[in-house]
Amino acid sequence: MIVSNIPELFLYPVEERGKPNQERIVILVNETINLGQYGIMVGYAGVNQSATPFQDNLFWFGNGVVNKGDWIMLFTGKGEPKSDIWLDAGTKIYSVHWGRDKTMFTNTNVVPMLFRIDAINVGIAPVDVPQLSIGKHA
Amino acid sequence: MVEIPDIPTPSDTGADGQQIQGSNDIPTELMEPSQLSRFPMVNAIEGLAAANNRVFGSEATSKMLVATTSHFAGELSRSQDDTTRLRQQIDILRDEKADISSRNAVLNERIASFRSNRHFSNFGIFAGTTLIGACIEFFQNDMATYGIPVMILGTILLFLSWFIAPRRGDQ
């Protein structure tokens, strides 16, 4: 499947691959967006910047507006989300955490895949029904 | 060409410091995405037929083609599963054969050492009894100074040979 690129965000190569607590996915924001529409998957690198996603590996950023020039540092380990101001450019650096016990990108064939959600169907949750019983209660 | 800015370093990452290094292999927790992409040809034919049921000439041809490819894909899947299972059994049997071969080598070595021990033991018993017989001659001829060491040597040789000799249960 071939889909278009995501111009509003620029995905850098993983920084500090395999270094515990420092390994991070770096994203530069190119225009003001709500991050709730984006997420990261993990894939096996192919040719020409393609990749095949592994199953059951997804990070959703959650809702939050970021501005042009801001940076998102997605650390693969656990931690507290932080925001910092980069004095050189006056933009913000957001540090968020995936919460993995082990580093994920030690093998250089494993790469992050940034995706955008354009449409979604949500399964309807079951509603409570009256609980009727036949017979005597103890 | 668009200039890519340098990456800043946050002053406080918020990391809790508990993370450890993962394996250099493909992490085992990352599962292979193989379920739907196992038979891409079947998927393509089914997709084409679903989009246009006359894509392969007529509706009947399309259905026949989809059914045929699905049937052979199923057969192929079963054959692949059988092959995988047989390979696993071969691996198990190969391991068992390796164990039996190593046990066999140990037992062969024990049999060889048993034979050499038996020869040594027979010689020791023969020499020990000869020395004890000689020591009796020494005592009868009032040559106790020779008789005692010969008797001690013969006795030790006899006992050692007797106890060193391997018994059937050892093997």
Q: Answer whether B18 sits within 8 Å of A78, measured CB to CB.
A: yes
Confidence of residue A42 (pLDDT cuts 50, 70, 90): very high
Average pLDDT over residues B82-105: 91
Q: Is B13 on the interface with A (CB under 8 A)?
A: yes
Determine the structural domain holding residue A20 and report its residue range: 9-116
Q: What is the pLDDT of residue B7?
A: 87
Q: Are B75 and B47 in contact (CB under 8 A)?
A: no
Considering its fold, how many domains does chain B have in total?
1
Q: Examine residue B94 and state whether it is found in any structural domain, yes or no.
A: yes
- What pLDDT, on the 0 to 100 scale, is given for residue B171? 46
The chain-wide mean pLDDT, for chain B, equals: 82
Q: What number is the ipTM of this complex?
A: 0.72
Higher pLDDT, B43 or B169: B43
What is residue A136's predicted lDDT score, i.e. its pLDDT? Answer: 60
Q: What is the dihedral of CA A73, A75, A78, A82, to 10 degrees?
A: -10
Whether A131 is covered by a domain: the verdict is no
Considering B19-23, B104-108, B145-149, the range whose residues carry the highest mean pLDDT is B104-108
Residue B5 has pLDDT above 90, yes or no: no
Least confident range of A29-43, A69-83, B72-86: B72-86
Please check whether residue B171 lies inside any domain of the structure. Answer: no
pLDDT given at position A54: 85
- B3 close to A (CB below 8 A): no
Q: Are B47 and A52 in contact (CB under 8 A)?
A: no
Burial of B53 (0-12, 13-18, 19+ CB in 10 A): middle
Whether residue B129 contacts residue B158, with contact meaning beta carbons closer than 8 Å, is answered with yes
**Residues of chain B contacting A42 with CB distance shorter than 8 Å:** 30
For residue B143, give its domain range.
Answer: 40-165
Question: How confident is the prediction for chain A on average, in pLDDT?
Answer: 89
Question: Quick check: is B13 in a domain?
Answer: no
Q: Rounded to an integer, what distance in angstroms lies between the CA atom of residue A20 and that of residue A14?
A: 13
Look at residue B112 in the predicted model and tell me its pLDDT.
Answer: 87
B36 to chain A, any CB pair closer than 8 A? The answer is no
Instruction: Count structural domains, chain A.
Output: 1
Decide if A1 is inside a domain.
no
Query: Which residues of chain A neighbour B30 with C-beta distances below 8 Å?
Result: 42, 54-55, 57, 110
Work out the end-to-end distance of chain B between its first and last CA atoms, rounded to an integer number of angstroms.
81
User: Between chains, do A95 and B27 touch, taking CB under 8 Å as contact?
Assistant: no
pTM of the model: 0.53
Q: Which tokens is B32 given?
A: 């292979």
Residue B19 to chain A, least CA–CA distance (Å): 5
* Residues found in chain B: 171
| A13 lies in some domain | yes
Is there a domain that residue A47 lies in?
Answer: yes
Q: Would A137 be classed as within a structural domain?
A: no
Mean pLDDT throughout B39-65?
Answer: 82
Give the C-alpha separation, A113 to B54, whole Å. 38
Contacts of A84 in chain B (CB under 8 A): 10-12
Supply the CATH number for residue A56's domain.
Answer: 2.60.40
State pLDDT tens for residues B113-169: 888 888 888 888 899 999 988 888 888 888 888 888 889 999 998 888 888 766 555
Q: Decide if B27 is inside a domain.
A: no
Choose the mutation target among A52, A68, A106, A113 for the interface with B, i.e. most B CBs under 10 Å.
Answer: A106
| B12 inside domain | no
Q: Pick the residue with more confidence: B33 or A9? A: A9
Give B-chain residues touching A110 at CB under 8 angstroms. 26-27, 30
Q: Looking at residue A9, what is its pLDDT?
A: 95
Position B34 scores a pLDDT of 54
Q: Tell which of A40, A42, A103, A111 to mutate to test the B interface (max B CBs under 10 Å).
A: A103
Closest CA to A82 of A69, A98, A65, A95: A95
